[in-house]
Amino acid sequence: MDSPSDHQHDYHGLVAAGALIGYLERILILTFTLLGSYTAVGFVLAAKSIFRFGELTRSTDRSLTEYVLIGSLLSVVITTLVGVVITQSLTLL
């Protein structure tokens, strides 16, 4: 029989895994941006979209879906902009 603490532990593990995936995604996007490989940035975004599509279509909470999409797009835009700013700054040196 499952105890409530088992479910709480599973949820915490999922949140931690999601955070780790987000950090790795941003590292990949920043690296590809610094290398000028915007196609690879698009690939990372497409791969994430494919994995998220099933999760988002099963969701009955529209506001949660929009929250996830806004967060994902904001993360990609900010990371790409940081990469572009760093690249432009390095070319000025």
Is the pTM value of this prediction over 0.85?
no
Task: Determine the pLDDT at residue 10.
Answer: 62
Task: Determine the pLDDT at residue 60.
Answer: 72
Long-range contacts of 47-51 (CB under 8 A, 24+ apart): 48/72
Handedness of CA 88, 89, 91, 92 (dihedral sign): positive
The DSSP 8-state label assigned to residue 93 in this structure reads -
Nearest-angstrom CA–CA distance, 65 and 67: 5
Q: pLDDT tens string for the chain (93 positions)?
A: 555 555 555 666 667 887 888 899 999 999 999 999 999 999 998 888 787 776 666 767 777 777 878 888 899 999 999 999 999 999 998
Task: Determine the pLDDT at residue 84.
Answer: 95
